[in-house]
Amino acid sequence: MADVRESIHVIGAGPAGLAAAIELARAGRPVSVHDRNADVGLRFRGDFQGFQNWIWEKDSREVLESLDLRTNFSFVPFRAMTAYLGDGRRFAIRSERPIFYLIRRGNTPGALDHGLKQQALAAGASFCFNDASPRIDNGWVIDATGPKTANILARGMVFRTRHPDACIGVVDDALAPGGYAYFLACGGRATLATCTFGDFPNIGVYFDRALARFKKLADFDIRRPKWFSGFGNFAIQSELAGPGRTLHVGESAGFQDYLWGFGLHLAILSGHLAARSIIENRSYEELCRLHLLPLLRISLVNRWLFPWLVRLRLPGQLRATETDPWHFVRFLHGQYRPTPLKRLLYPLALRSLRRWPKDRLRLGGQSVIEWARDCKPGAPG
């Protein structure tokens, strides 16, 4: 049984760790958040990300409210986007339901990280920054330190622009092997990036190609550019609770959407579940098996089927979207429904994941992880 007076230490101030801290502090538990950086969100410089809106029947805003989280950060609904395939075909997508919500990352007002930090402080959580290795003698530990290996790699640029609000996505292996490249503009800011699932050593080449392609497609101006890089980890772990009453959340546990790399909803939900497991004296592993593991398994099968999805299904689904404003979100939502076929394919998909070389791939003299961490926001090239 958990002692309500016992200290709870959250290591890592990303969305997963902050969601756990908010839930615990609101329940009256003494919780401290430790992070190696001087503030939340310092890995980012206002880059845009998408909070997907097709996983659950409920709208994502309602899902956050059900977790008792306020959207005290920019949360802009996007109901339109333009999609291009590798052969040049263009599709204009319109949706009555938001396809995704655009958020900003960073430590400035309006950013997701800043907003969650303010909610944690208001609830009574304390923060210990510049604290990479906190000394913890007793109590619970929630490990939210992020991915330990890499099987998703992103390279991008944030900048100011006069281009009107827009969302453009390209699915083309010439720009992003196994993934996609995207251009997001909102309120005079923009993010352009390539998100790859293979051939990591040539990430710079793919980004240059993506930049050239989007300049032809959108003809935008670039002012005050800053470069960024990032990596993601997908895994299905058998042990989510480590020794010393440690619970792994977010990408520390491999919670990521392996189909698209939109993992914020899984990170936040895992932090919430870890907090509830402590508050309610319930098994964290059991909560994850109930609420997260089915999504992870389907996500893995979707990734394994990605080449087939792009070649055979995506073009027809995109065409149907141009006349049916609900079709695209329904199509994406359907990819996350459990079916007998996906259950049958899961062992094969899992075997392919275990063969992935992960952080053994190298860029120059560094591992992928070292390269992404050393490539600070704002560094040229």
What are φ and ψ of residue 372, in 5° steps?
A: -65, -35
Q: Which amino acid is at 103?
A: I
pLDDT higher than threshold 90 for residue 70: yes
pLDDT higher than threshold 90 for residue 325: no
Query: 361: which 2 tokens?
Result: 């791939």
Q: Map out the domains of the chain as residue ranges.
A: 8-77+100-148+233-293, 300-358
Q: State how far the Cα of 252 lies from the Cα of 90, in Å rounded to an integer.
A: 37
Question: 348, exposed or middle or buried, with CB in 10 Å at 0-12, 13-18, 19+?
Answer: exposed
Distances (CA, A) of 159 to 104, 115, 259: 13, 22, 27
Q: State how far the Cα of 369 lies from the Cα of 36, in Å rounded to an integer.
A: 16
- The string of pLDDT tens digits covering residues 112-155 is 999 999 999 999 999 999 998 888 878 899 999 998 888 899 99
pLDDT higher than threshold 60 for residue 377: no
Instruction: For domain 8-77+100-148+233-293, give the fold.
Output: FAD/NAD(P)-binding domain (3.50.50)
Alpha helices in the chain (DSSP H): 15-26, 60-66, 112-123, 203-218, 264-279, 284-291, 293-304, 306-308, 314-321, 327-334, 340-354, 368-374
Q: How confident is the model at residue 358 (pLDDT cuts 50, 70, 90)?
A: low
How far separated are the first and last CA of the chain, in Å rounded? 52
Pairing state of beta strands 8-11 and 140-143? parallel
pLDDT higher than threshold 50 for residue 381: no
Query: 228: which 2 tokens?
Result: 């960024």
Q: How confident is the model at residue 347 (pLDDT cuts 50, 70, 90)?
A: very high
Closest to 34 measured CA to CA, from 20, 4, 13, 64: 13
